[in-house]
């Protein structure tokens, strides 16, 4: 997997996941009824990355990129349109 070999890309992706997690965390504080399916998991992943809990594996990050971010994009777009 090329992703594992590219430290610059890995750090950029992790940073963006941190930003997404922080944004969702702030939204949840103001709007507890915020309806993003995995909002708490996203915030938890942000915390794990920032604090290096359990050293998140490349496979987990790759799964987030491939499987979770596209779903999140659709959910956020739907939320913004409502």
Catalytic residue numbers, as ranges: 46, 51
Q: Is 29 exposed, middle or buried (0-12, 13-18, 19+ CB in 10 A)?
A: exposed
Q: Which of 19, 29, 39 is nearest to 11 (CA)?
A: 19
């Amino acid at each position: 997997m090329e992703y594992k070999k590219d430290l610059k890309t890995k750090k950029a992706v992790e940073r963006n996941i941190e930003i997404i997690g922080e944004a969702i965390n702030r939204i949840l504080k103001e709007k507890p009824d915020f309806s993003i399916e995995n909002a708490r998991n996203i915030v938890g992943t942000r915390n794990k990355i920032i604090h290096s809990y359990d050293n998140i594996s490349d496979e987990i990050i790759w799964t987030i990129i491939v499987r979770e971010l596209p779903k999140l994009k659709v959910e956020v777009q739907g939320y913004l349109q409502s």
